[in-house]
Structure 1
Amino acid sequence: MRIIFLLFALSLELSFGYAQPNKKLIVKCLDLENPDTAILYYPLENHIKVYYNTPDSNDFTLSIIGGKIKKVDDHYIIQVQDRNRVTLMVHGNNQTNRSIDKVYFFIKDYKEPAAMLCGIKGGHVSLKKLLKEQKISLNLHENPFLKQNFKVKEFKLTINDGIQNVSFVSNSEYLTSEQKAALKKLKKGQKFYIEDLILIDAQNKGIKATPTAFIVD
């Protein structure tokens, strides 16, 4: 019985994850790896394109339940308000056929990228593995479906030497020789931090990132 329930719950999630098939209405989610996947992220601005395949393809109006929508250039931006579901309704304005078509979106919470070393997002890390690292990475897998066109522009490695915090800056995702030398001097149980991350997307727009703390094993 438990297995049947889990399969049913999974099928519901998948059904909400994809736009309902509709010959007249096509909605593309431009921020997703697969734009045909009907998923919106909260609280991001979600960019979509709407194609209404009728003879009056430009003669329609949009309304939305559970969010806000605005037109920007040749596409639309949706901001989620109801974190359970957003419904987009397309109203055909043809005088002879005033139809209404709908697309239901599945909502996911956006998680800020965080720095990773040795494949972990903070916590205990082996010094032996740490000294083999060449660069930091980001936990992008925590936002499935979303395009991850992020680039690390800058980050700071901060170490407490027992007296004060000492910071070393890198202007890319790669550890500098100065940062590597500082890591090499770490003792077991000592803490260090990856902070002040500056990320940019494909449009050079700044992206917030979460600092992380590590303890040397």
Structure 2
Amino acid sequence: MTATRPAATRLTARQQQILELIQHAIARTGAPPTRAEIAAELGFKSANAAEEHLQALARKGAIDLVSGTSRGIRLRGDALQSLHEQRMQQLSLPLPGLAQLALPLVGRVAAGSPILAQEHVEQTYYVESGLFARKPDYLLKVRGMSMRDAGIMEGDLLAVSATREARNGQIVVARVGTDVTVKRFERHADRIELHAENPDYPTIVVQPGEPFEIEGLAVGLIRTQMFG
């Protein structure tokens, strides 16, 4: 249960509605909505009305706004904890009689080799298929805390749908040189930026001609304690 906010920061009904919309979008797609998407979902006449509510949410400490990107919204405090709880409820242990996916768990990936090479697969998990809006192809063990503020923690199992394409703002599994990393994707005319969701980690900038490839999109999360 989400903690009660102090009176000074209690949200209006409309602000709470927008905050829940942001939480649901991140839980479903891995990315927050744009201002235009919020406006369309809630029937606002323009994206400016959505921006005003987002600024109010930022003043009350529910979110951070990141300049320079259309999806620059980060959850904070109770709102971030609520997202963690949603994600823990998205996936469950396998149960007899349910349609299930057999997902290989990928551990550390060797430089230059396919992400699903047999030597990288540690074990297989069986997960209910109906819990994903988009079918995952494998689970990737998360290392480090660079995506902490998106609710992705060290040791989590990230459900990944294999693809070579991504939209700005989506969380991707990407190969940069010999490394495989999980970051938020942002394509610009002259470069690609891979953003961490933790201010302690720098943005990775990929210049034209540098080795780079998208391996997949994040479509769900398993908190490892669920399998302890």
Question: Does TM, scored on the shorter chain, surpass 0.5?
Answer: no
TM, length-normalised to structure 2: 0.28
| Larger Rg computed on CA atoms | 1
More strand by share: 1
TM, length-normalised to structure 1: 0.29
